[in-house]
Amino acid sequence: MSDERHEAMRALARARHLVKKDLQGKRQQIWSLMLRLGRIYPGKTTWGPGHMRWPTAQKIEYREQRIAFEELFEGIRQEGECLERLENAIREVVPEWSLSEVVAALQAVRGIHLIAAVGVLAEIGDLLSNPARADGLSGSRALRKLDRYKVKRSGVTKAGHGRARRISWPQK
Q: Where are the domains of the chain?
A: 1-98, 105-172
Q: Which phi and psi (to 5°) does residue 35 adopt?
A: -65, -40
Picking from 5, 168, 4, the residue whose alpha carbon sits closest to that of residue 87 is: 168
Contact 116, 169 (CB under 8 A): yes
Q: What does the chain come to in residues?
A: 172
pLDDT tens track for 45-86: 777 777 788 888 888 889 999 999 899 989 999 999 999 999
When pLDDT is cut at 50, 70 and 90, the band that residue 1 belongs to is very low
Euclidean distance between the first and the last CA atom of the chain, given in angstroms as a whole number: 28
Write out the DSSP string of 103-138.
Answer: HHHHTTSTT--HHHHHHHHHHH--TTT-HHHHHHHH
Instruction: Tell me 39's DSSP state.
Output: -
Contact 85, 92 (CB under 8 A): no
Picking from 85, 107, 103, the residue whose alpha carbon sits closest to that of residue 94 is: 103
The packing angle between helices 114-124 and 3-36, to 10°, is 120
pTM for this entry: 0.70
pLDDT tens track for 84-111: 999 999 999 999 998 888 889 888 888 8
Check pLDDT > 60 for residue 170: no
